[in-house]
DNA sequence: ACAAAAGTGTTTGGGATACACCCATGT
DNA sequence: ACATGGGTGTATCCCAAACACTTTTGT
């Protein structure tokens, strides 16, 4: 029995926080279609390759973030027939949250603020839609998982973590109540025992990510 | 440029509540591979077909639930290389919640309790894993969306809705507090103005689904 | 001394839980 | 009359928001 076969890609929504803004890793296209438009880093899946493996390979080859072991989770699959003008291509997308890192050395790959990307129209395929879904997923994941810490360097202060929440959610948070909530949440943060004054003022305790997978209790967004 | 192409299927996790149990629609395989094992209803995607359209077609052709317009949402995509012994097949899965309906007239398609399906090993491909993910998604969706009402007939009582929650979550709920919460949630339920005594006792008001998409405030599971 | 940021204590209000109690039907 | 389930009222508790206040640094 013969069945239709389609080309399958993995496309990545890699987010970070840098210079007080939520940014996504973009690939500037230098060939048709959509030459000169931004796209998400992506690549075709090999026949013998598992989906997460393909995602990790694209992280390496296209995004230039090979060494960095960042959290990658499946976002959604996009496959309406004409999303790629050349042929039927179905895209399995992954969401990753990274600390503020230099991206690839290639000029083609850069961090861009998501609000700029979502406002501009010059995007390839349906990648603006995919980015929007990824950002929304990240926003809600911050509520009930400890993934906000994935945006931070290995050691960070409570205030730095709060800045992540404020930038991703786009809302100011009360520093005092935030402090109590995150330090009280089960296995969210583990103190290193050291402090830093890099943010000015009184020395702040440094923390590392704890082993929690879910957040109890969750950090809920202000009612919006 | 030549790229690898793979076969793509849509597989459905269709859940309902019947006879006090959470059940899933299963397809009994009558050909190899996995002859005699249960599987999820599924089918190959056509070249010119959007993914949700393919899901609706499978609902019709395989599940025999054509007329019924039920809620279908994308669940996840499964694609490790050897999940189908014949060839590389990637499966885009959808989750649907249905009221208690007669399934197809074909004996091959039946409702089976999910606890039985998840306990048994005689399943095709990785469909047990997919079912498990679908059930978990449904459980958490009941918390913050009004989808529990999708398990009910068009008109239903608060107690019938409560039974849905109790069966899907596997926990008893306080009838009084449940009543207050669901009738107080914004646009969850709209009263029809009529009552029924089909459950015995004092007549219960009948409700229809309201227009809410999210639940404010959410119905949280007992801490478990 | 003063500014700046970290961290703690305290009050208060809304929502959830637990449960007593009343209502409206069938038998 | 009584059983059965529908529905309301109420005390209590917990948690989160709001914000005054103390602590510890740099300049």
Judge: B44–A76 Cβ closer than 8 Å, yes or no: no
pLDDT tens-digit map of B133-144: 999 999 999 999
Q: Is A136 in the same domain as A153?
A: no
Q: What sign results for the dihedral spanned by CA atoms A210, A134, B42, B3?
A: negative
Beta-sheet pairing, A5-18 with A89-97: parallel
Residue A214: the pLDDT is 92
Q: Is the peptide bond before A19 cis (omega within 30 degrees of 0)?
A: no
Token digits of residue B182: 């669901």
Q: Is B135 in the same domain as B154?
A: no
pLDDT, mean of residues A158-172: 97
- Residues facing B81 on adjacent strands: none
pLDDT tens-digit map of A44-70: 999 999 999 999 999 999 888 777 788
Per-chain mean pLDDT for chain A: 94
Q: Is residue A218 part of a domain?
A: no
Measuring alpha carbon to C1', the residue closest to nucleotide D17 is: A177
pLDDT tens-digit map of B156-183: 999 999 999 999 999 999 999 999 999 9
Q: Is B129 in the same domain as B153?
A: no
Q: How confident is the model at residue B1 (pLDDT cuts 50, 70, 90)?
A: low
pLDDT tens-digit map of A86-139: 999 999 999 999 999 887 778 899 999 999 999 987 889 999 999 999 999 999
Q: Is residue B2 part of a domain?
A: no
Judge: B6–A77 Cβ closer than 8 Å, yes or no: no
* Residue of chain A with shortest Cα separation from B50: A80
Distance CA B146, CA B163 (A): 14
Q: Is B110 in the same domain as B188?
A: no
Min CA distance, A164 vs chain B (Å)? 25
Tell me the CB-side half-sphere exposure of residue B123, using CA atoms within 13 A.
Answer: 21
Helix H, strand E, coil C: the string for A148-212 is: HHHHCCCCECHHHHHHHHHHHHCCCCCHHHHHHHHHHCCCCEEEEEEEECCCCCCCEEEEEECCC
Q: Is B18 in the same domain as B108?
A: yes
Please name the helix (run of DSSP H) or strand (run of DSSP E) that holds residue B143, with its range, or none.
Answer: helix B127-144
Backbone angles phi, psi at B11, to 5 degrees: -120, 145
- Residues B148 and B165: beta-carbon distance below 8 Å: yes
What secondary structure does DSSP assign to A100-124, as a single string? S----SSTTEEEEEHHHHHH---BS
Judge: B81–A3 Cβ closer than 8 Å, yes or no: no
Residue A1: the pLDDT is 60
Looking at residue A79, the DSSP 8-state letter turns out to be: -
Residue among B4, B77, B92 whose CB faces A46 most closely = B4
Residue A63: the pLDDT is 82
Distance CA A198, CA A56 (A): 34
Q: Is A51 in the same domain as A90?
A: yes
Backbone angles phi, psi at B25, to 5 degrees: -80, 125
Q: Which of B124, B143, B162 is the last residue of a domain?
A: B143
Judge: A45–B5 Cβ closer than 8 Å, yes or no: no
pLDDT at position A35 over 90: yes
- Residues B97 and B71: beta-carbon distance below 8 Å: yes
Residue A69: the pLDDT is 80
**Residue B139 Cα distances to A58, A76, A175, B145, B147, angstroms:** 33, 19, 34, 10, 10
Q: Is residue B223 part of a domain?
A: no
Q: Is B37 in the same domain as B88?
A: yes
Distance CA B138, CA B131 (A): 10
pLDDT, mean of residues B59-67: 83
Q: Is B121 in the same domain as B49?
A: yes
Q: Is B87 in the same domain as B194?
A: no
pLDDT tens-digit map of A176-209: 999 999 999 999 999 999 999 999 999 999 999 9
Measuring alpha carbon to C1', the residue closest to nucleotide C25 is: B202
pLDDT, mean of residues B6-12: 97
Say which residue, B107 or B148, is predicted with more confidence. B148
Residue A169 belongs to what domain range?
145-209
Chain C nucleotides covered by protein, CB below 7 Å: 3-9, 15-21, 23-26
Per-chain mean pLDDT for chain B: 93
Please name the helix (run of DSSP H) or strand (run of DSSP E) that holds residue B162, with its range, or none.
Answer: helix B158-169
Number of domains in chain A: 2
Residue B92: the pLDDT is 98
Residues contacting residue B115 through CB under 8 Å, at least 6 positions apart: B21, B22
Q: Is residue B215 part of a domain?
A: no
CATH number at B180 reads 1.10.10.10
Q: Is A43 in the same domain as A134?
A: yes
Tell me what percent of chain B is helix, strand and coil, each rounded to the nearest 5: 30, 30, 45
Q: Is B157 in the same domain as B122?
A: no
Q: Which residue out of A11, A31, A48, A51 would a mutagenesis test of the B interface target, given it has the greatest number of B Cβ atoms within 10 Å? A: A51
Q: Is B91 in the same domain as B193?
A: no
Q: Closest nucleotide to residue B157 (Cα to C1')?
A: D6
pLDDT at position A142 over 70: yes
pLDDT at position B84 over 90: yes
* Residue of chain A with shortest Cα separation from B87: A47
Judge: B4–A76 Cβ closer than 8 Å, yes or no: no
Residue among B45, B77, B88 whose CB faces A92 most closely = B77
């Amino acid at each position: 029995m013969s069945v239709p076969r389609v080309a399958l890609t993995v496309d990545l929504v890699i987010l970070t926080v840098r210079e007080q803004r939520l940014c996504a890793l973009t690939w500037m296209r230098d060939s048709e279609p959509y030459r000169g438009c931004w796209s998400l880093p992506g690549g075709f899946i090999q026949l013998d390759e598992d989906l997460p493996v393909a995602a990790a390979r694209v992280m390496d080859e296209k995004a230039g973030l090979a060494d960095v072991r960042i959290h990658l989770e499946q976002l959604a699959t996009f496959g309406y027939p004409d999303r790629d003008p050349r042929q039927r291509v179905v895209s399995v997308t992954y969401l990753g949250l990274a600390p503020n890192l230099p991206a690839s050395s290639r000029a083609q790959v850069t961090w861009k603020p998501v609000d700029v990307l979502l406002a501009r129209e010059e995007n390839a395929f349906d990648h603006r839609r995919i980015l929007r879904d990824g950002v929304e997923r990240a926003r809600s994941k911050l509520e009930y998982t400890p993934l906000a810490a994935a945006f931070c360097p290995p050691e960070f202060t409570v205030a730095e973590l709060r800045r992540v929440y404020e930038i991703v959610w786009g809302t100011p948070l009360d520093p005092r109540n935030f402090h109590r909530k995150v330090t009280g949440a089960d296995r969210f943060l583990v103190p290193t025992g050291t402090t830093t004054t890099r943010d000015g003022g009184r020395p702040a305790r440094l923390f590392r990510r704890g082993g929690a997978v879910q957040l109890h209790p969750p950090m809920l967004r202000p009612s919006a």
